[in-house]
Structure 1
Amino acid sequence: MRIALLGTGFGQAHAAAYAARGDVEVVMFGRDPEKTARTAGRFGFAPSTDLDTAFADPSFDLVDICLPIPLHAPTALRALEAGKHVLTELPMAATLEEGRELVAAAEASDRHMFVDMFERFIPANQALEDAVRDGTYGRLLELTAWSAVAPLWPGASLGLAALPMEAMHSDLDLITRALGMPREVNVTAVARDADAAAVEATFAFDGAIARSSVSSLRPMPWGGRGGYTAAFTDGVLESTSTMGHDGRPTATLTAWTGDGAREVELPQADQYAAMIDHVLAVLRGEADNRITPAGALDALRLTLRVDHQVNGAG
């Protein structure tokens, strides 16, 4: 499998997953020759600044798009038109119109398109999806998803302009997959400055409520923390996770019922590596695509609705 990896910023998260494999060849594309060569070299990849090659070279099987959000949809469309399989970072598009265009293009193509809904591969999130589907604890009545982070990514803004699209999208996917689309959305927000803020969104459904809370108002020692609490008619699932600078994230899942609390055993999993595993398994014909554009459209629709209330976006 030969992969054109576009982007030297967040592309490093995908690069680490590819570098741990022995069945892919990766070329990393970037605009700055020095930075591209330095970053690609860290992972043992070849560097390139000739973006056109990613689409024109017939030896590339997959184009992996880790570019700024406004470039996701047009680059994905170009890759599909060039006959490439496509993996794009989330959100897949900057507007709902672009998202719908991607869905149509992907469904009309004989190539696979994937959206990096990496949180679907987190074991605790999979446990919630299973519980909702199987009715393990009855009917879901309340779901709260939250995350709070320090400025862990130098140069990256996590202010109000960025938080809904950059930081809430995955949790909103968790909510829409569990409960569908809400009939009512209410959003409040506060900013410390242009790069640090918090957003709180509440959602009303028929017979259920949900909440998504995200904040970048934390000092560096905090690292990153998050999770969810899901209250069902007959029990509660509580997920917590942390990450810091030690490279050893933690995650726990607890099931609460009338009989008490029970810690649910979770398999060890790196969500990005698991997502890449899934993409390559689909391309080998060993799995069905779980992260299609059509399956990501509701999360995009709700994210844009929250973004509109925070930033007046279209």
Structure 2
Amino acid sequence: MKIALLGTSFGQAHAAVYAARDDVDVVMFGRDPDRTAKVAEQFGFTACTDLDTAFSDASFDLVDLCLPTPLHTPMALRALSEGKHVLTELPMAVSMAEGRSLVAAAEESDRHVFVDMFERFVPANRVLDDAVRDGTYGRLEELTCWSATAPLWPGACLGVQVLPMEAMHSDLDLITRALGTPREVHVTAVERDTDSGAVEAVMAFDGAIARSSVSSLRPMPWGGRGGWTAAFTDGVLESVSTMGYDGKPVTTLTACTADGTREVDLEPADQYTAMINHVLAVLAGEADNLITPAGALEALELTLRVHHQVNPGR
């Protein structure tokens, strides 16, 4: 499998996963020759600054897009038109029109398109998905998701203008999978400066409520922390995680019922490795695609609702 990895910043999280495998050949693409060469060498990859090659070279099987969000759909469409499979970072689009265009193109193509909905592969989240589906603890009535981080990624903006799209999207996907589309969405935000702030969304469903809160108002020693609490009619599940730049969280999951409290055993896994393993398994014909553009559309719509309340006119 030959992969064109576009992006030398967040692309490093994907690069670390590919570097641990012996069945892929990766070329890293970036705009800055020195930086691209340095990052590619770090992972043992070839470096290239000619972006057109990623699409025109017939030897590439998969184009992995770790680029700024406005480029996700245009680059994914370009890759499809050149007969490539595509893995795009989330969110997959900056508007519903763009998102629907990618869904349509993916469904018309014989190539696979993957959206990096990495949180679907977090073991604790899979327990929640199963509990909702199977009614393990009764009916879900309340779901609260939160994440708070220090500025772990130098140069990255974590202000309110980007927090909904860049930081809330995964939690909103968890919420829509559990409860569907909300009747009402109420959003509040606070801004410290252009690069830091906090956003909270409260959502109403028939017979249930959900909250999503994200913040970049933390000092460096805090690192990154997050989790969720799911209250059912017959019990509570609570997940708490800490995470650094490598995207490998340390997570605990607790179940509380009338019989007491217990820690739930979780399989060892990190989200980016599990996501990329899934992508490569699908391309090898060993699994069905669980992260299609069509499957990400409902979460994108909710994310855009939150984004537009925080940033009217953007």
Return the TM-score normalized by structure 2.
0.98
Q: Which residue is equivalent to 1:138?
A: 138
- Could you give the per-residue CA deviations for residues 44-89 of structure 1, whole angstroms, max 9, x where no partner exists? 0000011111111110000000000000000000000100000000
> In structure 1, what is the equivalent of residue 151 of structure 2?
151
Go from structure 1 to structure 2 and tell me whether the alpha carbon gap of 1:164 and 1:127 turns closer, same or farther (over 3 Å shift).
Answer: same
Residues in 2 aligned to 1:248 and 1:110: alpha-carbon distance in whole angstroms: 33
Quote the residue 2:72 is aligned against.
Answer: 72
Letter in 1 for 2:184: E
Corresponding position: 1:26 with 2:18:
no
Counterpart residue number, 2:264? 264
The equivalent of 1:108 in structure 2 is 108
- State how far apart, in whole Å, the 1-side matches of 2:78 and 2:195 are: 32
Q: Could you tell me how far 1:158 is from its partner in structure 2?
A: 0.4
Change (3 A) 1:246 1:34: closer
State the SS of the aligned residue for 1:147. Answer: strand
Q: Distance in 2 between matches of 1:122 and 1:247?
A: 11
The 2-side partners of 1:212 and 1:128 are apart by: 16
Amino acid at match of 1:37: A
Tell me what 1:240 maps to: 240
Which amino acid in structure 2 is aligned with residue 7 of structure 1? G
Instruction: State the partner residue of 1:284.
Output: 284
| 8 Å CA contact 2:13, 2:247 repeated in 1 | no
Q: Is the 8 A contact 2:248 2:270 kept in 1?
A: no
Query: 2: distance between equivalents of 1:270 and 1:264?
Result: 17
Please state how far the C-alpha of 1:312 moved relative to its aligned partner.
Answer: 1.1
Partners of 1:104 and 1:248 in 2: CA distance: 33
**1:168 and 2:148 equivalent?**
no
The residue aligned with 1:230 is: 230
Aligned position for 2:209: 209
1: distance between equivalents of 2:296 and 2:248? 29
After TM superposition, give the deviation of residue 249 of structure 1 in Å. Answer: 3.9
Structure 2 contact 247–272 (Cα < 8 Å) conserved? no
Q: Deviations over 1:161-200 (max 9, x none)?
A: 1100110000000000000000100000001111110001
Report the Cα distance in structure 2 between the residues aligned to 1:90 and 1:134, rounded to whole angstroms: 28
The answer (yes or no) to whether the contact 1:150–1:219 under 8 Å persists in 2 is yes
Aligned-partner residue type, residue 273 of structure 2: A
Partners of 1:93 and 1:245 lie apart in 2 by 24
CA separation of 1:246 and 1:67: change in aligned 2, threshold 3 A: closer
Which stretches in structure 1 are left out of the alignment for 5+ residues?
Answer: none
Letter in 1 for 2:31: R
Residue of structure 2 in register with 1:196 after alignment: 196
- 8 Å CA contact retained: 1:304, 1:313: no
Aligned residues: 314
1: distance between equivalents of 2:5 and 2:249? 26
8 Å Cα contact 1:307/1:313 also seen in 2 = no
CA distance in 1, matches of 2:193, 2:289: 40
When residues 244 and 6 of structure 1 are mapped into structure 2, their CA distance, relative to the original with a 3 A threshold, is closer
Distance 1:200 1:85 in 2: 35
Query: Secondary structure of the equivalent of 2:114?
Result: strand
Residues in 1 aligned to 2:33 and 2:67: alpha-carbon distance in whole angstroms: 16
Q: TM-score, length-normalised on structure 1?
A: 0.98
In structure 2, what is the Cα distance between the partners aligned to 1:313 and 1:14? 33
Question: CA contact under 8 A between 1:161 and 1:311: conserved in structure 2?
Answer: yes
Q: In the aligned structure 2, how far is the partner of 1:203 from the partner of 1:248? A: 29
1 CA distance for matches of 2:246 and 2:253? 21
Q: Which residue of 1 aligns with 2:181?
A: 181
Unaligned runs of 5+ in 2: none
| Local SS of the residue matching 1:236 | strand
Kept in 2, the 8 Å contact 1:189–1:310? The answer is: yes
CA distance in 1, matches of 2:23, 2:280: 10
For 1:32, the aligned partner's letter is: D
Equivalent position amino acid for 1:231 in 2 = A
Q: Which amino acid aligns with 1:38?
A: K
